[in-house]
Structure 1
Amino acid sequence: MGALAFGYDTGIIAGALPFMTLPAEQGGLGLNPVTEGLITASLIVGAAIGSLASGYLSDRFGRRTTLRTLAVLFVLGALGTAVAPSVTVMVAMRFVLGIAVGGGSATVPVFIAEIAGPKRRGRLVSRNELMIVSGQLMAYVLSAVLAYALQRNDIWRYMLAIAAVPGALLFIGTFFVPSSPHWLAAKGRIKDAKAVLERLRDTPEQAEKEANELHEHAKAAKHHPPVGELLHQGWVVKLLLIGVGLGFVIQFTGVNAFMYYTPIILKSTGMGTHAALAATIGNGVVSVLATLLGIWAIGRVGRRTLLMGGLSVVIVAQLALGSVLLLLPNDLTQSYLALACILVFLLFMQMCISPVYWLLMSELFPNQVRGLLTGVAVSMQWLFNALVAFAFPIALQWFGNATFYGFAALNVASLLFVCFCLPETRGKSLEQIEKYMKKEL
């Protein structure tokens, strides 16, 4: 539910923006390119702060308690955006909603990774990405259905209000899941951790083995340096830089330029508003199917291989989209070819890049500061997201469709970063990954 709310809240803006740009007397907010970017980016700036704060809170108070608090913000933020009378109020409420989205994005993958065993971790954490893209698909479908069914210019308010539903379900759901055994062990509550593992694992032997491993790790942690000193150790700093670099990789693919602005891109080719909203459903469908393929692949292929393969296709897709928009006349052929390029991009983005990013965010960092470092890395990812979301409509206004060539160049740099800097984590327990990173970095 946390991931579903994340997906819906980030995806629904694509359907709401065309109506919010209408003048106030026609039911909109009278947006221009700058205020479009500001409203879109305000959620993302909030998400950066939320992910950073939630990292500290989840380490101190637990993953489950943190998610329960974030669920309340999901509901308040969604209802606040639905009734916002002005751009100023909308920006403020999108910021509140962003705190919940960012906090959930940092906490949910870590929570799932810590309650999953090593063999299931990849597939289960990847289901987080499946729910994100399912939330985006839900947003696109509801946008198109509501626009066609109600034929009202203020329909964007209904679109935004629906976001309160997954937030409420998240709050309820937190009463039906156990605490993280890794967090319990880190707090010295070994018996409680073992009791949780006995509920979660297939056999008592598996639970006993993992509980012993957690116990040994907790005892060893007593001899670790304090958190402040640990954060200054070279291998931890390198891991954090890799995590921040991966945030750059996922956002400067340009994925959220498509997720937020596909209707506007398609309208530039001459497609009508309702047709563009309907076509955007293809984004959600392809993303869901691609994530299902990614869940299958992630248990069979290394993290590095998936990332490098995905980035290679993304580069080609961005170059193709820029060429279609620059070289072909504005007609139906251009519209469909542009949509095809976007869908190919999303197929490989959501199959090979996004699931691996969230999985790595749950794996890379040492247990003692996992919540904190995940929060820092994910908050930087959200800041990169905000930069892309704010700058994209302005870049289109200044540079036109050559903007997509710029994305392709940045993706070449990302491919080189993954090739030379990212270690492989497949097939290792979280404790084994920590030992491996400490040794290798």
Structure 2
Amino acid sequence: MTDNAIRASGVPDSSPLGFYGAMSLSERRTFWGCAAGWTLDGMDFMIYPLVLGTLVNLWHVDPSKAGLAATSTLLASAVGGWAAGYMCDRIGRVPTLQITIAWFSAFSLLCAFAQDFDQLLVARTLLGIGFGGEWAAGSILMAEMVRPEHRGRAVGTVQSGWAIGWGIAVLLQAVLFSLLPPEEAWRWMFAAGALPAILVFFLRRHVEEPALSRASRRRQAAAGDRPAITEIFRGSYLRTTLLASVMMAGAQGSYYAMSTWVPRYLTTERHLTLVGSTGYLATLILGSFAGYLTGAWLADVLGRRKLFVTFSAGAVITLLAYLQAPLPAGAIWALGFPLGFFSTGFFSGIGPFLSELYPTRLRGSGQGFCYNFGRGVGALFPTMVGALAAVTSLGNAITVFAGAAYVLFFSLSFAFPETRGMALDDHG
């Protein structure tokens, strides 16, 4: 059945990208604006793990201190995400998205001019504020623009942009480190991170504030009842906020422990060159991209909980095989695909899931805090991996912390009711 025939018949299209055909022009512009923002956000974040080995060698940085830059970025993103979520509820989703993109673009450019590790640490920390805020604003904006039966696929497909951004960063690494000496190439990597600023002009011209958000803020203004930043910790919201925050810590900690240190693991314990590791990372990224798209589809087909449980269990199994099994290089290369698939695919359901836990007037604050509290706790994992790697192998250190985080996420998936198909306007 063709797209036109499906729309004419009124039969819902449950295919992975079926939601796109049902979108209006304004919804499609929102989709592409959010997808581009998340893609470039992913590129900006992944630049540091890719140049980590170079900076360690050039500036003789201790591994635990090198991990601190990743941790400080994520800690700052936790603050930025909560603040941006609150701004979403006060000034709107689209203005907040514009501010956050401009912010992290500017500080990525400043990273390129760092003269020592301390300067880079400051610039990366400040970058984290905008980095955390962009996800909060973009995810809420997308969730409110699409109908309930499409929310998982639409928001999850936007989330797949992270894998594309990761791929762009790896491609930049391969090109720049092939053409330039390492002491120059890493600077150009960070300079490229300023490109997202161009997206602000598109957002200003073509992306509209969701009607749901506008109506909510009008009601608040008329009643003089602006949401307080602490409201998500009161009454029935307290349990939701606490459990969702810890659950997000498991999701974020597992990912950041792995993604920050696997590039270094490949060059040290697998003895690959920086350029030679590109193919291994490419397989991991392709798996990640497939995982995001599959997870987005399954979030609507199976529901949020089944997605979380299935993918986190698969992530633990593949992580153990990748880092602990005595496999030849070819097998490690092939195993990168399922590792990327399972370790990131569940993120496609997180944005829709969190948006369904809070009413419209608190959605920004609640979603922004929970997701980014997870980032804040997850921020500690790269540093802890670096510290543990001083007394054991890097592979063991990654396994300990990433594995524990996956188990935490898996367990707390059972603490919430299934929210698939919830109408946000009916929720508050």
Q: Same fold (TM over 0.5)?
A: yes
Mapped pair 1:364 → 2:394: no
Equivalent residues in 2 for 1:191-230 (5 A)?
227=228
Mapped pair 1:13 → 2:13: no
CA deviations on 1:203-235 (whole Å, 9 max, x unpaired) are xxxxxxxxxxxxxxx89x969997579545432
Letter in 2 for 1:411: Y
From the superposition, tell whether residues 229 and 271 of structure 1 become closer, same or farther in structure 2 (CA, over 3 Å). Answer: closer
Matched with 2:337 is 343
Matched with 2:380 is 387
Q: 2:420 aligns with which of 419, 426, 429?
A: 426
Question: In the TM superposition, what is the alpha-carbon distance from 1:111 to its structure 2 partner?
Answer: 0.8
| TM-score of the pair, normalised by structure 1 | 0.82
CA deviations on 1:243-292 (whole Å, 9 max, x unpaired) are 2022122123x222332222211121222222123421222222112222
Mapped pair 1:250 → 2:285: no
Equivalent residues in 2 for 1:21-420 (5 A)?
21-23=56-58, 29-188=59-218, 227=228, 231=232, 233-252=234-253, 254-267=254-267, 268-324=269-325, 328=326, 333-351=327-345, 353-400=346-393, 401-403=395-397, 404-419=399-414
Letter in 2 for 1:113: A
Helix, strand or coil at the partner of 2:218: coil
Percent of residue pairs identical? 24
Contact 1:71 1:168 in 2 (8 A): no
Mapped pair 1:3 → 2:38: yes
From the superposition, tell whether residues 301 and 85 of structure 1 become closer, same or farther in structure 2 (CA, over 3 Å). Answer: same
Contact 1:2 1:167 in 2 (8 A): no
Contact 2:284 2:339 in 1 (8 A): no
Question: In the TM superposition, what is the alpha-carbon distance from 1:80 to its structure 2 partner?
Answer: 0.2
5+ unaligned residues in a row in structure 1: which ranges? 24-28, 190-217, 436-441
Distance across 2 between alignment mates of 1:156 and 1:2: 22
Distance across 2 between alignment mates of 1:148 and 1:395: 32
CA-atom RMSD in angstroms: 2.5
Distance across 1 between alignment mates of 2:52 and 2:136: 27
Distance across 2 between alignment mates of 1:237 and 1:223: 23
Question: In the TM superposition, what is the alpha-carbon distance from 1:81 to its structure 2 partner?
Answer: 0.5
Contact 1:266 1:338 in 2 (8 A): no
Bigger CA drift: 150-159 or 53-62?
A: 150-159
Distance across 2 between alignment mates of 1:350 and 1:378: 15
Distance across 2 between alignment mates of 1:354 and 1:337: 26
CA deviations on 1:121-154 (whole Å, 9 max, x unpaired) are 2221112211122111111121112212334432
Helix, strand or coil at the partner of 1:427: coil
From the superposition, tell whether residues 70 and 130 of structure 1 become closer, same or farther in structure 2 (CA, over 3 Å). Answer: same
Helix, strand or coil at the partner of 2:57: coil
Matched with 2:13 is none
Question: In the TM superposition, what is the alpha-carbon distance from 1:76 to its structure 2 partner?
Answer: 1.2
Contact 1:307 1:356 in 2 (8 A): yes
Helix, strand or coil at the partner of 2:270: coil
Question: In the TM superposition, what is the alpha-carbon distance from 1:70 to its structure 2 partner?
Answer: 1.4
Question: In the TM superposition, what is the alpha-carbon distance from 1:99 to its structure 2 partner?
Answer: 0.9
Distance across 2 between alignment mates of 1:392 and 1:339: 23
Letter in 1 for 2:83: A
Letter in 1 for 2:139: P
| TM-score of the pair, normalised by structure 2 | 0.84
Helix, strand or coil at the partner of 1:364: coil
Contact 2:73 2:126 in 1 (8 A): yes
From the superposition, tell whether residues 227 and 95 of structure 1 become closer, same or farther in structure 2 (CA, over 3 Å). Answer: closer
From the superposition, tell whether residues 396 and 343 of structure 1 become closer, same or farther in structure 2 (CA, over 3 Å). Answer: farther
